Amino acid sequence: MKIYETPKFKKLREKLRSAVEKEALGKAILDVIKDPFDSKKLKGEFKDLRRHKYSVHGHEQRLIFKVEGNVIYLLSFGPREGIYK
């Protein structure tokens, strides 16, 4: 599978300072690569997207992505509040 990150995703990733946050995000991305269809499919206007939950310092985070054919597009990540904007 090919992996692409959107400019928004790249900007958010580059803002990460904590090694723990970077490691947790990296692990979440690897989990998605292994089986992207194991993640929950969203509903409504976001029906083409999927989310993978992971944890950082005991706080739940979400990795939002889209699968098209053999390509995974990484769209956003962070806590639930405001992630879908």
pLDDT tens string 13-52: 999 989 999 999 999 999 999 999 999 999 999 999 999 9
- Eight-state DSSP code of residue 82: T
Give the H/E segment covering residue 77. strand 71-78
Percentage of residues of the chain with pLDDT beyond 90: 88
Summary mean pLDDT of the chain: 93
Which two structure tokens, joined as six digits, stand for 80?
A: 């639930």
Q: What share of the chain is helix, strand, coil (3-state, %, to 5)?
A: 35, 40, 25
Per-residue pLDDT band for 75 (boundaries 50, 70, 90) equals: very high
* Bridge partners, 56 (sequence order): 59
- The tokens describing 85, both together, are 């904007």
